[in-house]
Amino acid sequence: MPPYLIDKVVLVTGAAHRLGREIALRLADEGCQVVVHYHQAEASAAATVDDIRRRGLEAIPVSADLRSLSGIDSLFATIDRSVGSLDYLVNSAAVLEPVDLLGASEADWQRTIDLNLKGAFFCLQRAAERMQDNGGAIVNISDVAGLRPWKRYPVHSISKAGVEMLTRVAALALAPRVRVNAVAPGLAMKPESMTEERWLALADSVPLRKAGSPADIADAVIFLFKHEYITGETLVVDGGYRLV
């Protein structure tokens, strides 16, 4: 095992399932101690932690509602008590809901922006505060929808465009102590709201004629953590989807 990430402490938000789970497992395989954040999916988070511990590695589950500052502060207070340090953050927690632009309600807007953008901003802020002495790195999970708008997901697209700008602003503001980058997945995992038929049609429409996988996104996160001369960049992992 290369020494790059061994014994580093990483917080992965939204690590109970989907992309966050895969990222947490892969970082554990690289030797990291993983803080597995979840909101309500306690059983899924416990399964992620168990999978990591079965590999002889360390993980702790922490529940928090990242839509509120009190929830975010509770998360980081638990990390301070339980681990005492933080080297890396992966801002993975997000909501993806289809909604018509003309029919979107204030509740639709708030639910998505509060988690996808506000939550990412304040988790990044709190993590960076803890990285000032020893340095660190942050990877935001963006989305190709933040670069190429999805009309069925307008609020999500707007939130992820915000994450793109957050990545660049934070990279400037936090250098040289903390590096900040993003990974923008394309068709890496079918949204729960999408039919299998629609998913396969989308996969066939990209230049590489196939969907990606959660492992592709985890590989990109690890790449950005290991390469210490990269900051303020977005690694797009979409099979060329944004080109068409």
Q: What is the pLDDT of residues 166-185, one digit of tens each?
A: 999 999 999 999 999 999 99
Q: Which of 59, 58, 115, 63 is nearest to 91 (CA)?
A: 115
| Mean pLDDT of the 108-130 span | 98
| 141: nearest Cα among 5, 225, 235, 77 | 235
Is residue 2 predicted with pLDDT exceeding 60?
A: no
| pLDDT score recorded for residue 197 | 93
Residue 209, Ramachandran bin (φ over 0: left; ψ between -120 and 50: alpha; else beta): left
Q: How far apart are CA 195 and CA 206, in angstroms?
A: 17
Q: What percent of the chain has pLDDT above 70?
A: 99
For residues 240 and 181, give the distance between their C-alpha atoms in angstroms, rounded to a whole number: 20
Token pair 């990242």 in the structure block, residue: 66
Whole-number pLDDT of residue 3: 64
CB 189 within 8 A of CB 18: yes
What is the per-residue pLDDT across 131-167, written as a single tens digit (0 to 9) for each? 999 999 999 999 999 999 889 999 999 999 999 999 9
Phi and psi at residue 207, to the nearest 5° = -55, -35
Looking at the chain, the number of H-run helices and the number of E-run strands are: 8, 7
User: Measuring CA to CA, how many Å separate 221 from each of 39, 109, 185?
Assistant: 22, 28, 11
Percentage of residues in the chain with pLDDT exceeding 90? 92
Homologous superfamily (CATH) for 9-238 = NAD(P)-binding Rossmann-like Domain (3.40.50.720)
What's the pLDDT score for residue 15? Answer: 98
Among all residues, which ones are annotated catalytic? 153, 160
Distance CA 104, CA 65 (A): 23
In the prediction, which pLDDT does 1 show? Answer: 41
Tell me which DSSP letter residue 89 carries.
Answer: E
pLDDT of the residue at 231: 99
Q: Computed over its alpha carbons, how large is the radius of gyration of the chain?
A: 17
Neighbours of 102 (CB within 10 A): 6
Eight-class DSSP state of 68: S
The dihedral region occupied by 14, where left means phi > 0, alpha psi between -120 and 50, and beta the remainder, is left
Q: Summarize the confidence of residues 193-215 as an average pLDDT.
A: 93
